[in-house]
Structure 1
Amino acid sequence: MTAPGLLIGAARSGSGKTTLALGLMRALARRGLRVSAVKCGPDYIDPAFHAAATGRDSLNLDSWAMPAGMIAQLAGQAGEGADLIIAEGAMGLFDGAPGGAAGIGASADIAALLGWPVLLAHDVSGQAQSAAAVIRGLATHDPRLSVAGVVANRVGSDRHRRLVAEGVAGLGLPLLGALPRNDRLKLPERHLGLVQAGETAELDARLDALADFVEAHVDVAAVARAAKAIRPEFGPAAALRPPAQRIAVARDDAFSFFYPHLARGWRAAGAELVFFSPLADEAPPEDCDLCWLPGGYPELHAGRLSQARNFLDGLREFARTRPVHGECGGYMVLGRVLIDAAGEGRHMAGLLDLETSFASRKLHLGYRTARLAADHCLGHRGDTLRGHEFHYATIIREAGDPFALARDAYTEAEVPAGLRQGHVSGSFFHVIG
C-alpha cells in the first residue's frame, strides 16, 4: 500500500491551484509529514517548486502521453517513503486533447485512474452564490471522480465568504478553506510560466509565507484526512529505454527542462547520468556515450553561451564521434544562430543548419506524436514517441534531414520536425514517453 493522495483541480488556469498546492505542501511538511508531490501534464517549472516545498522530487503524470501502467508505477514511486501525495492539476480539471494513451491528458484522468479525490480550488472573484453552480458542474460532470471539498480563492470579505459557504453547503460539499485576495504572495512569472525555482529570490521565505497563508485560512488537517490510497497497478509499465549507457546531461538555468521520471527510468534501467553546466563553460564529459541538451531558457543567456568557448568547442568535438541530441532550447543551441529578444544574433554550436529567433515570437503549444525518420538513440526508424511542444521561438532557417515526422493531437497529417546531421539531432519536441 502506497501513500494516500489527492488532486488539486479547478475550473480553469489562474484559479489558485499553485498557491494552494505549494502552501499545503510546505505547511504539511512543516508539521513533520513526509509529503510527495505530483504535477499533472507536461510542466517542468512547477515540479521544481514542489521539490523545494517538500524536499522530494516531484514527478509528472500525463494521461495523454503515458499508458495507465506507467502512471500507476510513477504514482507508486511518488508514494514510496511518503505519508501523503499532493497532485497539482493543470489548466481546467477536464481540459485535454483527443487520442491519448490512457485518457485525454486531463487532470481528471489522473484522479480517476488512481482513485484520488479532488480538492477544488475555485476562484470566487466576481461571484457569490453563483460559485455553487459552477462547483456543482465540476463535481458532477464525471461520475468517476470523488470531490473531497472546496477551497474558495480570492475571497473579498467575510460577507462574501458566508455567501459562498452557504452555496457550497447546499451541495453537500465541505468548504475546507477560503483564501482572501493577496497579490503580494504571487510568484514572479515569465513567458513559459513561473520564473524557475532556482532563480526565485528568497524562495524558502516565499514558500513559508504561502504556508502561513494557507494555515491561516484552510483546514490543513482536514485536507490531509481527505486523501486516499491509489488503486492497484494496471498491468506492465512501458518506459522509454535509455538512449545510452553513460549520458552527459546539460543542467543549469539555461538547460533545466528535464523530466525527473525520465532520469529515474533511465537510471533504473542501468544508465548513468552525468550533469554538466554550459553556463559555467563546462564541456560534456569525455567519458560519456551521449550528450543530451534539454530545453530551458537559452535565449535569456545567449550572450554567455556564445562566449562559452570550452563548452562549444567541447560539444563540437564530442559530436564528431558520439550522439548529441537537443530538445527545444537545446535544439536552438545546436544551430548556427540564436537571435535574442533584443534582436541580436548570437552564434551557437553550428552543428545543425538552423537559425532561430526570439525577437519574433509566436506561441507553439500542444501534444505531439513523433515518428522517428531514421534509426536513432531513442529508437528505430518508424518508432513512435509521445511528447509535447511549448515555445515562443520562431524558425528563420531549418535545412536538412528531419529528426522525425510529427503530428499534433488534432490531425493525422505528419510534418517534418527538427533536424539530424551526422551524430547530431534535435527538435522542438520534448519526449515524455
Structure 2
Amino acid sequence: MTRLALAIPGSGPDPAAVGIALLAAMAEQGLRVQHFRSWACPIGTRAIGALTGLPGRHLDAWLMPPEVCRSVFARGTQSADLAIIEGTIETIPRPLAATSSYEESCTSTCGRPGALMPLAEALDAPIVAAISCDWLKRFHLPFLPSRVEAVILDGLCDRREFADMRRMVELVLGRPVLGALPALAEVRAALQDAPRDCPLDPCVVASLVSGFRQFSDLEALRELACSRPLPPLFDAEALVPTGPRFKVAYAHDDAFGDYFPDTLETLEALGAELVEFSPLSDGDLPPGVDLVMIGCGFPDRFAEELSANACLIASLRAWVCRGRPVFAEGGGCAYLGRLMRLGDWNVPGVGVFPFDAALLPNPEPPTPVSRTLIRSGMLGEAGTVLRGYHSNRWKLLPAPEPDDCSARSGYLTAEHDVCFRRNAFGSLIHLHLAAMPQVVSGFAGLGRHGQKAPLFGGP
C-alpha cells in the first residue's frame, strides 16, 4: 500500500491547508486517496470525503496498539491507491491521567493533530514534513527527526524566494524539498472559518491546488510513497471469535450518526448485519435485531422531535426492560436519560438511565481521558483502566427514582460519566471498540444468545 505520513503544525485548521492541497492534487491525477487523521474524533470533518471521494478515517496511537493500527489501516485502504496519514511531530500536552512517556507522545485533543511518529513507525511510512516559511525567513531551521525524509515549504509569500529556501533546507537539513504551498492569506482565512460539517468551498480548494502544483513534484511524492513495503499486518479479527450471524440496529439520522468506522467494521467482522434506524422518524426498532447502538450526535438540536416520538421511546424502554443490550455514546447517552436540560428548557428523554443530561454552554472539543472501573462487568473487572475521548457537551446529573435498584442501574466510574441499566450501557467517553475486542465479542455473544443476565454485575 503506497502511503505517506504528512507532518503538519500542531495548531491551525482541520484539515491543514497543505494536507488539503496534497490530497486534492493527488485526487486530480485520478488516484483514489484515503486520508487518515492521527486523532480519533467521533465528530469528524465532512471536508475530506468531498475532496477524495472516500470518507476520512483515523488512526490514533493513544487508543490503538501498533498491531490494531496496522489492521485498521489495512481495512481502510482496501479501496485506495494512496494513503495519507496526517499528524504532528510537535510536543503535545498529555492528559492528567497519562503516566508514561509513550502516552505523552501519543495523546491529543480533538480539533488538534495527534502524534504522527508512533503511527509512522507502526506502518513504516515515509514522512514528509511541512515547514513554515516564517522560520526560514528568520534563518531558523526547525529540528527534524531522522525519520523525516522530505520537506514541503508552507506559506511561501514570494515565488522568487522558492529556489533560495529550497537550497537552504537541502544544504542544512539534508532533505529534498518536494513542494511548496503559497501563503494565500485570504484562502487560508476562509479555510479557518469554514464549518467542519460541510464540504469546502470549491474555489478555496482550487486555489490551494493551483498554488501547490506550481512548486510541487507530485511524481516524486508518489515515488516516495511507494518506496517501502507494508509491514506484516496483525489480524485484529483473530482476537475475537467468529460465530453465527446477528443483527445490529444503529441510529443514523440528522440527530445521530457519528461512529468510529472501525467499531462498525469490527462488528461486521464478527458476523453482524448492520441495519439503520431513525429515532426521529421510526416508530419501532427494526425487527429481529440483537443489539441496539445509538452513537454520538446532536439530540439537543432535535429535542422536540425526539421527545414527541413516543412510540420509539416506548419500544426502547421495553427493549431495556427485557434485558436486551444497548450501547450508547455521547449524545446517544444523553438522549437515553430522564431529562435533557437545555439551558432553561427541559425536554423528556427516553428515561432508561438514572440521570438528567445537562447541555454545557460553550463546550470544549472532546478530550482524551483515562477512567478506572469501580465495578466489574462487560468492560472489564473493577480496577480496569479505560481510555477514550470525553464528550464535553454534556454533564450527567444523578436523578434516581425511588424504586431504582443499585444492583441493576448506576455508574461504572467515580466521575459519573459511564452508566448502566441492566444490559444497557451509556457513556460520555467515546471508546475505540476495535481496540477492545473482548467487549465487542461480548456484545456479539449477548445478541446471539439472547442473554438477559446483567452485563455489569448484580443479580
Cα shift at 1:113 = 1.9
* Alpha-carbon displacement from aligned partner over 1:315-367 (angstroms, at most 9, x marks no partner): 22332322222111111111122233x54222221211222222544536213
8 Å contact from structure 1 (residues 15, 123) kept in 2: no
1:202/1:288 Cα in 2 relative to 1: closer, same or farther (>3 Å)?
same
**3-state SS of 2:34 partner:** strand
8 Å contact from structure 1 (residues 40, 107) kept in 2: yes
Cα shift at 1:293 = 0.9
8 Å contact from structure 1 (residues 16, 122) kept in 2: no
1:157/1:204 Cα in 2 relative to 1: closer, same or farther (>3 Å)?
closer
Which 5+ residue runs of structure 1 have no aligned equivalent? 406-413
- 2:445 is matched with none
1:250/1:209 Cα in 2 relative to 1: closer, same or farther (>3 Å)?
farther
Which runs of structure 2 are paired with 1:180-329 in the superposition (5 Å)?
180-184=183-187, 186-187=190-191, 194-196=195-197, 200=198, 210-216=208-214, 218-227=216-225, 228-229=227-228, 231-233=230-232, 237=236, 245-281=246-282, 283-321=284-322, 322-329=324-331
Which runs of structure 2 are paired with 1:345-424 in the superposition (5 Å)?
345-363=346-364, 365-369=367-371, 371=373, 373-376=375-378, 385-397=386-398, 401-405=409-413, 415-424=415-424
8 Å contact from structure 1 (residues 115, 231) kept in 2: yes
**3-state SS of 2:62 partner:** coil
**3-state SS of 2:296 partner:** coil
Name the count of aligned residue pairs: 406
**3-state SS of 1:119 partner:** strand
- 1:408 is matched with none
Distance 2:49 2:139 in 1: 32
Distance 1:213 1:381 in 2: 55
1:416/1:268 Cα in 2 relative to 1: closer, same or farther (>3 Å)?
same
Cα shift at 1:72 = 1.4
Q: State the one-letter code of the partner of 1:333.
A: Y
Cα shift at 1:33 = 1.4
Equivalent of residue 141 in structure 2, options 129, 133, 138? 133
- 2:429 is matched with 429
Which runs of structure 2 are paired with 1:51-200 in the superposition (5 Å)?
51-89=49-87, 93-95=90-92, 97=94, 98=98, 99=100, 104-105=106-107, 106-124=115-133, 127-130=135-138, 132-134=140-142, 137=143, 139-140=144-145, 143=146, 145-153=147-155, 155-158=156-159, 164-169=165-170, 170-175=172-177, 176-184=179-187, 186-187=190-191, 194-196=195-197, 200=198
Q: State the one-letter code of the partner of 2:231.
A: P
**3-state SS of 2:141 partner:** helix
Cα shift at 1:393 = 2.5
Cα shift at 1:269 = 1.5
Larger Rg: 2
Q: State the one-letter code of the partner of 2:317.
A: R
Q: State the one-letter code of the partner of 1:293.
A: I
User: Percent identical across equivalent pairs?
Assistant: 22
Q: State the one-letter code of the partner of 2:419.
A: L
8 Å contact from structure 1 (residues 59, 74) kept in 2: no
Which 5+ residue runs of structure 2 have no aligned equivalent? 108-114, 401-405, 436-459
- 1:411 is matched with none
Distance 2:132 2:284 in 1: 47
Distance 2:46 2:240 in 1: 22
8 Å contact from structure 1 (residues 339, 359) kept in 2: no
Cα shift at 1:118 = 1.8
8 Å contact from structure 2 (residues 37, 58) kept in 1: yes
Q: State the one-letter code of the partner of 1:388.
A: Y
Equivalent of residue 26 in structure 2, options 19, 28, 39? 28
- 2:335 is matched with 333
1:31/1:422 Cα in 2 relative to 1: closer, same or farther (>3 Å)?
same
- 1:5 is matched with 3
Distance 1:8 1:296 in 2: 29
1:158/1:187 Cα in 2 relative to 1: closer, same or farther (>3 Å)?
closer
1:418/1:78 Cα in 2 relative to 1: closer, same or farther (>3 Å)?
closer
